[in-house]
Structures are given as C-alpha cells and as structure tokens.
Amino acid sequence: ELIEDGVLDQADSSICDLQAQIEQHLRDERRGERLRSGVHVVIAGATNAGKSSLLNTLCQRPAAIVSPIAGTTRDIVETAVDIGGFPVLLSDTAGLRDSADLVEQEGVRRARERVQQADLTLLVVDSTCLPSDLQQAAGFLSEHLRSVLPSQEQPVTDVCLLVLNKSDLLPETHRQKLKTELRGVSGLPAVCLMSCQTNEGLKDFLTMLQSSVKTLCGDPLAGAPTLTQARHRAHLQQCVTALSQFQRYRDSDLALAAEGVRLALTSLGRITGRVGAEEILDIIFKDFCIGK
C-alpha cells in the first residue's frame, strides 16, 4: 500500500526484460561450454570397421592399437585434437557387438553410454559389408543407425556423421555408384566414403567434420556472449526460476515476490562474485568438506 503508483509496474517490466535476456542466453545449446571444454566427438561402430584407424588418422599419431583381431579396443581411448580451430575431445570406443566376454560386454556398455553423451557421433561402417545390391544400402545404413543411436532428442542428421571406411577395397565403379545411391537420402546424416589406409576421401571428411563442429560451437566472434561454464548455466537457471516466483506472487503476496527477486540477485551474484562472505563459506564447507 505504501508503494507509489507505477513503481511495481516499472519493476515488473524490468524483471520481464531481464528474464527474457537470461532465457535467450540459456538457449545457446551449450555452445560456450563446448568452446571452453571441447566438442565431445565419439567414434562408434561395429568391430573391425576401422574406428581406431580413424582416431589415429585424426590425431596423426598411434593413439589407439590397430589390429585385425575383432574386439581389440575394449575401453574408451580419449585424445584432444584441434579441428578447424575448435577444441575437440575424440573418443574411440569398443566395437558394438554381442559377446560372451564379460570385459567386452562392459566395453560395449560404456561405448553406448558415451554415444548417448556425445555432441557428435562418427558412425564408422566397413563399406565392404554393405549389401551387394546398392539400392538396399540406404536401408541397411538406416537400420544400423537406429541400433547405435536408438533415441535422440535432436534429429540424427544433426548429431551424427556416417563414415564408410575401407573404400580402397571397392572397385572404382562401385564407389561412384554408392556415392550416387546415398546422395541426399532422407533421414540419413551426411555420408563420407573414405579409406584410413590410403587417406582417400579424407579431405572431404575433414571438411564435413569441421562444418559440424563449427555448427555445434557457433561463431565466437558473432552474436551474444555465450556461457562457458556449467556452473554459470545452473545459476542462471536458478535466477529464472526465482524471477518466475516474482511474477507468480506480485499481485497476491509482495513479500514472496520480493523474496523471488532476492534469490535471483543471489544467483547472479554467484556468477559476478558479489556474494557475502557467509555464503562463500557455506559453499566452501558444502563442496570441499573442510574440517571433516
């Protein structure tokens, strides 16, 4: 009752604007975090498809053991690389197959788990295993794709690249027909026919990979500043929730509405550093268990 006319409306307008700006930052699809920590790219596929060879080709060193023996890679092999100026964390995974070996089963489980967490999956397929009738190749790859990426929130075309390896083992006429058959097939991600043995098609693959990584990271020199830490994102989400509390109670309970604003300021203060010493000590004792 002591608040002057128009003051509450002015505060409401400012808070709505602030909430809209924060929500816009939160819709950046984690581009800033990828720029800071690296794009998580997972190499997946069946055994002996050439996954480890692709990893070694991309990082230009023998980071993973390459062997004709199926199931050589059992645990995840990670290496950091630069792709087109963007940081990328590459993960080579165990070949996806059914196995009675308990250790290999665990490797396959970890591989599938890592695929679910990936920003981008490079699905490697042995091109010599494709159907001899090339008209069936698209259906074969679609089914294989569903077995590796069974459920995705985003379209599979945005989170996967299909790498048809061992192209050097195919006749030239077969390669050209395969490219024609798979060009622009609906529901399939971008397809690259290449050979890790001879580096045939490597340039085209790197161009595709750079384009995908750039899309995931965005242009760091354009647009609004991006969030580079998961902690900042969490605090901004808390801030939006608190501002929603103000909107919910502004007409019925000003005390609760004001508490929402206070909580929002606290969340923002944890990003800018403007929090009290008592709150800092609470965080230290909670997260680092000092004195226990």
Same domain, 58 and 106: yes
Please check whether residue 160 is in contact with residue 82, taking contact to mean a CB–CB distance below 8 angstroms. Answer: no
Q: Looking at the domain assignment, is residue 222 inside a domain?
A: no
Question: Which domain-ending residue is among 160, 185, 217?
Answer: 217
Q: Looking at the domain assignment, is residue 71 inside a domain?
A: yes
Between CA 237 and CA 275 the distance in angstroms is 17
Same domain, 189 and 58: yes
The residue ranges of the chain whose pLDDT is under 70 are 1-5, 27-33, 152-153, 219-230, 275-292
Please check whether residue 187 is in contact with residue 152, taking contact to mean a CB–CB distance below 8 angstroms. Answer: no
pLDDT, position 279: 59
Q: Looking at the domain assignment, is residue 144 inside a domain?
A: yes
Same domain, 56 and 12: no
Based on the structure, what is the number of domains in the chain? 2
Q: Looking at the domain assignment, is residue 33 inside a domain?
A: no
Same domain, 49 and 151: yes
Instruction: Please choose, from the candidates 243, 203, 263, the residue with its C-alpha nearest in 3D space to the C-alpha of residue 23.
Output: 243
Query: Burial of 206 by CB count in 10 Å (0-12 exposed, 13-18 middle, 19+ buried)?
Result: middle
Same domain, 270 and 184: no
Question: Which domain-ending residue is among 217, 238, 272?
Answer: 217
pLDDT, position 204: 95
Same domain, 20 and 42: no
pLDDT, position 277: 53
Between CA 43 and CA 41 the distance in angstroms is 7
Question: Which domain-ending residue is among 184, 217, 250?
Answer: 217
| DSSP H helices in the chain | 7-26, 31-37, 51-59, 102-117, 137-148, 156-159, 172-182, 202-217, 230-249, 254-272, 277-288
Same domain, 48 and 136: yes
Q: Looking at the domain assignment, is residue 62 inside a domain?
A: yes
Same domain, 166 and 42: yes
pLDDT, position 287: 58
Query: Burial of 135 by CB count in 10 Å (0-12 exposed, 13-18 middle, 19+ buried)?
Result: exposed
pLDDT, position 292: 47
Same domain, 261 and 184: no
Same domain, 42 and 23: no
Please check whether residue 125 is in contact with residue 144, taking contact to mean a CB–CB distance below 8 angstroms. Answer: yes
Same domain, 198 and 71: yes
What is the strand order of the sheet 86-92 is part of? 77-83, 86-92, 39-45, 120-126, 160-165, 191-193
Q: What is the CATH number of the domain that holds 72?
A: 3.40.50.300
| Full domain range(s) for residue 242 | 7-28+227-288
Q: Looking at the domain assignment, is residue 272 inside a domain?
A: yes
pLDDT, position 9: 77
Q: Looking at the domain assignment, is residue 2 inside a domain?
A: no
pLDDT, position 106: 95
Q: Looking at the domain assignment, is residue 165 inside a domain?
A: yes
